[in-house]
Structure 1
């Protein structure tokens, strides 16, 4: 069980209840979130699992959530049941609240989507208790409200992390009084399991609010990746164009050099042809003179 800790002033406030483990009723220590979004101390959850899956139920592979009784499976049921609680994700938002409460009570928390999708630290304006996430005004209108149109969010004050409770930690259906954790994508409707079965069982796209929320986050990341890939492709196109231009410049330089070489060769051939003619002419002239002198000497002797 978690050690008893004194809450800050206003222990029975909304913030105090948000930071309270439903099992030990004390402040969270290493909070772990189940798929149904309920959180518990890791130690409390581990003790609950081992106690529930003992005796006649020791061979069980699932356990009910202590709050909503939703059957939950371990990520790796082959390990010991005392290790199951460690496999569930840590509720980092609750940890941030605890850290802020125990250190700087006047510091405002940061928007979760801005940090996740943009790597930007932006002050949060509201808190969604259904998803345990802080939102700035922009992310609330463009991201949160797409999934939780009927969700009553909790405001974060300007001066301190003061959360004014407006409804329970999860949404409850007014008709069936059950948790509203199902989402119909066809009609953008949030309701409980009975609402979905009775009114939306013929719809094509029905999922849980958490799955739809995760898909929206994944789509946001994909959009960022698409933008990065487009920018990278544009850079590659510029590089290829630069290589082509340089290749064309080298081809033009090569042609200029070849043309210069051809001109030089033509000039050299013309010079050699001229010298050849001059040598042949002079040699012929000398031979003719020599022949005339020989004939003249022969006549004189005879």
Structure 2
């Protein structure tokens, strides 16, 4: 680890308890290797309900069995304490505001400036004390390192404390042994009292250091390999989940289409049955009406004939003489007799013609109406070749056409649709279908790209075949800091970018500021890790917006981190921060910023 980057690689976050966000006080390490303050762990145990024999990690919820004596008997994290001391020493030595004073002369009225550090005593010494240190028999073998050597060193090795911790059980006893049975460091008295042979085996701690380093190095290497394997599986899992979601959406569309078609078929069938029933109803009613009409016509005719004959007979009897009556009596008698002798339908015959029509709805089950089935088969990637030359590798039914979204990231060959020039795939792991969406070479596409597209494409210039001269000459024009066009509670809009709640901006780009990436909260506030992306863009000034009500904190160590890289740091309320940022951007300065748009 380079000494010049010690503070950037070992941030205060690593040396702070994740419960109280304060520097560790009596750090205790759990089985999951997470470290917390003793007091914080005791409070966490008090909040647990029921079980007291195990302590659940506040971060990952992994259970740690408590030894006899409770939380106080958990293993102390000497590494964190030592690292914290190393960082403090580093800051003191490299501080430009104050000199490092001799610890031995501190009680004097005018202590001398230190010139060296004794790693054995863990103290700073002035030149006189260094000479005295070398003369005294007890300290002449101590490891002394000049401060100039520490400042010029490219490693933190000269800062490491060579002093071995003392045993907690036995006063003034150095833990120079290691019990291989219990796997803990012990002192000489421990080997006689608590870790006696033959029940326990122990060796000098220094004898196991090299072997332990080899074991931990090997385990670290295996862990890195396992992390890579997990990431590969996670990537495959994400791809499988995406494929499953796409498959689900496709089946839902097919189901909706099939359901709609079945509805239309059923509706047509029902309409047909409806028409048939209406036709049958009309036929039945027409048949009965025809029979009734026949009777009605017969009765009407007979009634009219009887009335006519009766009227004629009455007129003959009233107004005719005897001769006239006798002359037509024969015809009258024959006509009226034939009418009276005719068979007439009686009331019962007519009533029998009456029918009662009733509709009987069908109660047959609709089990025969089946939309279809969902069938689950083993997913086998399709190996048909797509027009781009890659295999489909998608999972779909054999009768379903292949998707044109080729997800291959290797051997992508694309030709410009305008000039036919071959276009090499940029090394950004984009998929084939994404590359082939824009089949124009740099020269042909330059004039058609938006400002945001040009910013993105300029990052790919080393991978492109053809680069117009005017594009190189105008690169600085497109790498200026974008203006923040609008700001309101919970919303910011960046020109050429998008709309964000919290955002990061830099010359040539912007993106959302996701606090979850670094575990940022209002307290302790903005972390150096939140600013690294913007600082890497080569800004000269960094503006930090603390929110509308300035609730977001900006620790002094974060400001020191920015200034240590030669960048001016401006911390303001968000509205004033945006105004200041826009003024600098309009003036052409290389300015970046991180802004919080709510409280």
Shorter-chain TM band: 0.3 to 0.5
Which structure would you say has the larger RCO, counting Cα contacts within 8 Å and 6 or more residues apart? 1
Q: TM-score, normalised by structure 2?
A: 0.18
Specify which structure has the higher proportion of helix.
1
Q: TM-score, normalised by structure 1?
A: 0.33
Q: Which protein is bigger by CA-based radius of gyration?
A: 2
